[in-house]
Structure 1
């Protein structure tokens, strides 16, 4: 993602933020700049700003990160899907830990969206051209259950359930150490990291509400690891990963949060090779439940852990 740094000149003093940047950043459109601001990818004098109509002053310092424009016309791709349930309104799919949900910079052809376009001629378009059918997301290296909308009515209904908490998502995470207390609620607002714009972090002010309910279901290897069940009350980017890492219990295999490589080096020799094989975070969306948009009946689905995740657990239990 290209990054730009500007000092506001005198002739742009007291101008709207998006207008001033459009004047300064000739390489992009005003709509692209507005999108970046709304997505919290702009820092004004050391503070993240998401208000496009904020006013700038002479000598203000601005750092702006712009996402690469995705190629127009997302193409269907014959990629196998693990479909758990499907009817005329929705699809419940078990996403692999190697698949990105929708096209973005550097990945336009082998995403879940490309596979869905090949599989179905009917997907909602509320999410725009690059997110047909996508109601909610999972990180690329997180596996598990997602619900996809095949029409706009279903999409709006499911999105409303996410907002109201009626759509329930539960995860299993293998973490380092023993979380204390072993059961509870993590209520820590989150925002984008000022040091690395690709990462999220907990913040004391200015962030978005983020709430994770958790329960330890198994302590492994004398407390070196724990298997933790997490339930989302909100759905912020990287929420479970950031919340658990904040308390010093990052997810095994997570290369972004929690110094996973260093922790592997400090683990017993007989586990090191198995831990190194885990090339994605041990985080799996095993349960999803929601009210069907048409029938009004609550339905629920469960999906067991991926093979590599389950194998690692078996090895840890063995010792």
Structure 2
């Protein structure tokens, strides 16, 4: 199956919310691949996770985003006070995130850190690119989890320190191991090898903004 055309938006059907955790301060949800986190430009891009959640939980507010094609864990605030509190935690890098991806080839070395400055590739937006003069600093730690020789691909753990747009996708491309099914950055066979971007937000950890209790949420990737 071929990945969706990046120029069209075909969100998955609304079959209800996949809520991992909910209390008076926050929501933890699983976002499906192919669904925008927030409304996009144009009347055809208004269906998104934020709108679906707010139709059911009126005080829910977006704190961060996942790429449309990325699946996995997202956190939403309950009300303006919690929105400010969670924003502070993100700004202070006190919310931990972990992703799982399937990438082309075998990672060697099996662990490392990518430090590359990123900027929007304006003639080709929404693509991002490495720009050592104007780009904003971005840091990703990676670790090989397993190698699948029959598919010539690697399952990797990605832990971002920063949250630049498309950071994990561009970092893996720059490393020479593009994420499979990426309809923006992969070419040829690597783009066709999966019906979606094989990138999943699999873990999120933080201290509860009201109680200070350490929380850790996980979500298994569907690939």
TM-score where L is the length of structure 1: 0.63
1:101 correspondence with 2:14: no
For 2:39 and 2:150, how far apart are their aligned partners in 1? 42
Structure 2: any 5+ residue segments left out of the alignment? 1-12
For 1:112 and 1:90, how far apart are their aligned partners in 2? 15
Which position in structure 1 is the counterpart of 2:170?
Answer: 242
Structure 1: any 5+ residue segments left out of the alignment? 1-76, 124-132, 266-274, 310-319
Note closer, same or farther for the CA distance 1:196–1:299 as it changes in structure 2 (3 Å cut).
same
Q: CA deviation at 1:264?
A: 6.4
More strand by share: 2
User: Does the 8 Å CA contact 2:40/2:46 hold for their aligned counterparts?
Assistant: no
Highest CA radius of gyration, 1 or 2?
Answer: 1
Q: CA deviation at 1:110?
A: 2.1
User: Does the 8 Å CA contact 2:181/2:190 hold for their aligned counterparts?
Assistant: no
Which position in structure 1 is the counterpart of 2:50?
Answer: 113
Note closer, same or farther for the CA distance 1:195–1:247 as it changes in structure 2 (3 Å cut).
farther
For 2:18 and 2:37, how far apart are their aligned partners in 1? 14
Which position in structure 1 is the counterpart of 2:9?
Answer: none
More helix by share: 1
1:200 correspondence with 2:128: yes
Residues 185-209 of structure 1 show CA distances to partners (whole Å, capped at 9, x for unaligned) of: 1010100114412210111111111
Residues 69-96 of structure 1 show CA distances to partners (whole Å, capped at 9, x for unaligned) of: xxxxxxxx97511000000111000000
Q: CA deviation at 1:145?
A: 0.1
User: Does the 8 Å CA contact 1:248/1:258 hold for their aligned counterparts?
Assistant: no
Q: Which has the higher contact order (CA 8 A, sep 6+)?
A: 2
For 2:74 and 2:190, how far apart are their aligned partners in 1? 31
Give the root-mean-square deviation of aligned CA atoms.
1.8
1:280 correspondence with 2:196: yes
TM-score where L is the length of structure 2: 0.88
Q: CA deviation at 1:113?
A: 1.4
Map 1:1-319 → 2, pairs under 5 A: 80-106=16-42, 107-123=44-60, 133-221=61-149, 224-259=152-187, 261-263=188-190, 275=193, 278-306=194-222, 309=223
